[in-house]
Amino acid sequence: MMYNYCTLFNSNYLTRGLAMYESLKKNSEKFHLYIFAFDDRSYILLKKLNLEFTTIISLREFENEDLLKIKGNRSVAEYCWTCTPYVVEYSIEKYKLGSCVYLDADLYFFSDPSILIKEMNSNSVLITEHRYTPKYDQTDTSGVYCVQFMVFKNDENGIKVLEWWRDACQKWCYARFEDGKFGDQKYLDDWLERFEGVHVLQNLGGGVAPWNVQQYNLEDKEFRLVFYHFHNFNFLEGDKVDFGYYKLTKSDVNILYKPYIKHLVNITFRLKKMNEIYDYNNILKKKDFNWKDLARSLKRKVKGVNNIYYKKDLL
């Protein structure tokens, strides 16, 4: 069976998007990935790469009048969130797909994700919980569910949910908590009551992330990790990387982060051969940090969480 996926990213996320694609390719038998390139630089490079099992879509092809009207009033991140239901809808309608799986660009697959999709059975939509570790619980502000791995079937229930979500994001999608809303994500909280045919993923191998990895024993041979969400992962100046402010064990770093770093470095090396000027990693410099970043840094120091490493120590 062919599984159809879609994702979106710009040139600052290109190495991560390619790592996601290559991990999907490594672990999937039959798939097609629709990549929405959110700037010209990423579109041109992705077309040059001539990736197997992909279709590259530019903003010029994808954007409609409704999106162009609101684009200038939202940040880059907010606009990407707004577009999430639109890219799923575009993929289904343009390419006449029976279903489509939305993937965040910072996911990384360790085994075949088809096992997660099959769990849906006859349901029309699949969503994934955050499964927060209690001390990191952000349900009230960020929602019960995470927009990271979502499946929509091209049937009555699936399209009904997708169109409702699209319209909601068009009206309001911002990086703040307001009136029970946050970005594109808090809208999912009541889908089980609001709609029919919505399934919540039960397989614990899907949706592992920094905010819940503390609940897992990744060394357990009976546990099958499907994907990890590298949320809050950043490249820093000085050839450093930052894994975020969640507690990680040495095992987490060895099993998850070291392979990911090696893959990203390898991709960066390949891209540098094509364009020595641009890095495609969005390296954060001290001048880029705002007061929220400084507050998080102080919070980590107080809690004794230091997830900043030199890349060379991880290779």
Q: Distance between CA 90 and CA 94 in Å, rounded?
A: 6
User: 6 — phi, psi (to 5°)?
Assistant: -140, 155
CB 140 within 8 A of CB 180: no
In tens digits, the chain (315 residues) has pLDDT values of 999 999 999 999 999 999 999 999 999 989 999 999 999 999 999 999 999 999 999 999 999 999 999 999 999 999 999 999 999 999 999 999 999 999 999 999 999 999 999 999 999 999 999 999 999 999 999 999 999 999 999 999 999 999 999 999 999 999 999 999 999 999 999 999 999 999 999 999 999 999 999 999 999 999 999 999 999 999 999 999 999 999 999 999 999 999 999 999 999 999 988 877 788 998 887 656 565 555 656 666 556 577 999 999 999
Q: Distance between CA 60 and CA 43 in Å, rounded?
A: 11
CA-to-CA separations, 179 to 13, 164, 283, in angstroms, rounded = 31, 18, 34
What would the CATH number be for the domain defined by 3-200? 3.90.550.10
Q: Distance between CA 201 and CA 149 in Å, rounded?
A: 10
Whole-structure pTM value: 0.94
Q: Distance between CA 58 and CA 80 in Å, rounded?
A: 14
Domain limits of the chain? 3-200, 213-313
